[in-house]
């Protein structure tokens, strides 16, 4: 995760500073991880592919949802960054070490997962049945030029129950990030607009039971990774 303007310095795997990556930032934010004030890169999981659909890599998108219930690139990134910046560091999902904060502020129609601020983590999280998952491998918020540079070296993989899943390549969409004071992603309680980009995964709701998800992401000298154990409740 990479951000510009505020937040913890460095990259945030699934975070914001001079550029926002995986998180949100304030002011001139590039993402949740890198920027003049600080840089961050965030990663989630899913194998990245340069041949992702042209719709996911387009420079703009105005629809809030797309085929098969998937969120459009602009809506997904705006909502994910706002979610990642919705808690202070002590309970923030990106800073979470064991999965205890996975469920905080989750929307009803999608379940977000987070990377880290450039470290490795092992998390166990409950996931509701029938709710799709969404997360970044590496992501950023900043200006159009920031995203061009960021995406030039972005790579990552996501492995669900031993099988690789493909990531969508988003090269630059207009996003709006809302954040709370004291959050480690943007570092401010401001709302701002910027350009979002990254490698993103959207998955349909998982079957009940235990699932493993390994997320890895890298861009430049920033790398992040999370090993998730996801417990999906049985449908009633």
Residue 25 and residue 39 in contact, taking contact as beta carbons nearer than 8 Å: no
Phi/psi of residue 187, nearest 5 degrees: 80, 0
Residue 184 has pLDDT above 60, yes or no: yes
DSSP state of 114: -
Residue 154 and residue 48 in contact, taking contact as beta carbons nearer than 8 Å: yes
| pLDDT tens-digit readout, 66-119 | 455 699 999 999 999 999 999 999 999 999 999 999 999 999 999 999 999 999
Chain-wide mean pLDDT for the chain? Answer: 79
| pLDDT tens-digit readout, 130-145 | 999 999 999 999 999 9
Beta-strand runs (E) in 76-116: 111-112
| pLDDT tens-digit readout, 33-43 | 333 223 333 33
pLDDT band, residue 235 (cuts 50/70/90): confident
* Residue 193 in tokens: 């607009």
Q: How far apart are CA 134 and CA 2, in angstroms?
A: 18
Element (H, E) at 74: helix 73-84
- Please tell me the predicted confidence (pLDDT) of residue 232: 96
Q: How far apart are CA 43 and CA 61, in angstroms?
A: 22
Q: How far apart are CA 194 and CA 198, in angstroms?
A: 13
Q: How far apart are CA 48 and CA 70, in angstroms?
A: 18
Q: How far apart are CA 94 and CA 113, in angstroms?
A: 9
| pLDDT tens-digit readout, 158-171 | 999 999 999 999 99
Q: How far apart are CA 117 and CA 9, in angstroms?
A: 9
């Amino acid at each position: 995760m990479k951000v510009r303007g505020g937040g913890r310095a460095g990259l945030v795997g699934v975070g914001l500073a001079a550029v926002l990556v995986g998180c949100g930032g304030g002011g001139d934010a590039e993402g949740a991880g890198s920027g003049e004030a600080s840089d961050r890169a965030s990663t989630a999981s899913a194998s990245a592919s340069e041949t992702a659909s042209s719709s996911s890599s387009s420079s703009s998108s105005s629809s809030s949802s797309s085929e098969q219930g998937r969120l459009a690139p602009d809506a997904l990134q705006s909502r994910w960054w706002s979610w990642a910046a919705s808690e202070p560091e002590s309970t923030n999902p990106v800073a979470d070490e064991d999965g205890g904060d996975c469920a905080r502020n989750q929307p009803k129609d999608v379940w977000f997962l987070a990377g880290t601020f450039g470290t490795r983590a092992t998390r166990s999280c409950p996931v509701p049945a029938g709710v799709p998952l969404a997360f970044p491998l590496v992501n950023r918020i900043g200006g159009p030029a920031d995203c061009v540079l960021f995406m030039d070296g972005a790579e990552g993989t996501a492995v669900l129950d031993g099988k690789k899943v493909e990531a969508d390549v988003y090269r630059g969409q207009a996003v709006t990030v809302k954040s709370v004071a004291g959050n480690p992603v943007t570092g401010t309680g401001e709302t701002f607009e910027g350009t979002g980009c990254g490698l993103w995964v959207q998955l349909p709701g998982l079957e009940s039971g235990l699932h493993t998800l390994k997320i890895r992401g890298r861009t430049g000298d920033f790398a992040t990774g999370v090993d998730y154990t996801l417990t999906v409740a049985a449908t009633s």
